[in-house]
Amino acid sequence: MRRLLLTLPLLCMPLIAAGQTVSADQSTNPWIQQQTTLKTGQPAPGSLLIQSQNSTTAGAQNDSSLSLNPLGGGTVNSSTLQYGVTPNVTTQATINQKSWATQPRIVGTEVGATYNTGRYSLGLSVAQDQVTNPTPLPRVLPGAVTGVNGLTDFDNSTQLNAKGRLALSGNSGVVLGASMGRIHLLPGNLLGLSTLDQKALSFGIDHGPVSGSIIGRSMQPEVNNPGMPNPGLYPDRRWNSIDLGVTWRLPWQGSLSFGAQNVWSSGNATNTPAGPPQPDQSRTPYVQYHQDL
């Protein structure tokens, strides 16, 4: 499965280029306009819809296990291919690239399906993210680590995501999400670990152009020691955190995002001569503006 997901970027490169072209020509392309006639906003059965977008790392906050520091700078570019199976079922494949200083650092792929009735929707997907070079992620600003979930030695991750939305009215709804998976770290990292088990839960509300969410995450190292009470996890090492974020989509294709990472955090670790090693859990407030051109 891991090799299959890693080959998706190569297979989807033509789609990325096509998606960028489609994004610029949607107003004049009747084929694209025909695909969005369903009330749920999904492509019609048997048809394809390709979309592309870009955002800052602050705008990339979501309920999946991959979480970037919003003050770490950088951009996120993604392209999504959707295929309408039935009027209510859509399959999709996404490839995204997270870059700093014009250099791609993390490439992600995601495949899944969504069931949407208009009143409510439920989606399931499998995703993987991997650094393109086996080096720690860069430190862009003093005190702002670019790492994933406070882990600068991030290597790759694989996770299963679920997301559902219940519409309360024509322009508002409640969103619930969950994710579980594994994070692999680069060899020789300061934590002295190779694999972390991670779970995430999210709750969000959207009303018109305004949306907000609260996301809780938990990480615990995995070990392979049959002599321990629970051979799968370290019983004395665990890190938890809660993030808050609000986004306001502006009428001129801009967005304003503000919130904080690690509003609340806790953790424990086995002490070492240098202290208890743990991921960066410092509280990080942010305010960012993004403009689509």
**Over the stretch 13-53, which tens digit does the pLDDT of each residue have?**
444 444 443 443 443 343 343 445 466 678 889 899 998 88
Greater model confidence, 174 or 221: 174
What is the total count of domains within the chain?
1
Task: Say which CATH number the domain at 173 has.
Answer: 2.40.160
Domain-embedded: residue 28:
yes
**Over the stretch 189-203, which tens digit does the pLDDT of each residue have?**
777 788 889 999 999
Domain-embedded: residue 44:
no
Which residue do the tokens 């705008």 mark? 59
The letter for the amino acid at 139 is: R
Greater model confidence, 68 or 201: 201
Domain-embedded: residue 45:
no
Domain-embedded: residue 192:
yes
Which of these, 13, 45, 47, lies nearest to 30 by C-alpha position?
A: 47
Q: How confident is the model at residue 82 (pLDDT cuts 50, 70, 90)?
A: very high
Domain-embedded: residue 197:
yes
Which residues span the domain enclosing 157?
A: 2-39+50-291
Domain-embedded: residue 227:
yes
Distance of CA 224 to the CA centre of its chain: 28
Domain-embedded: residue 190:
yes
Instruction: Name the pTM for this structure.
Output: 0.76
Domain-embedded: residue 273:
yes
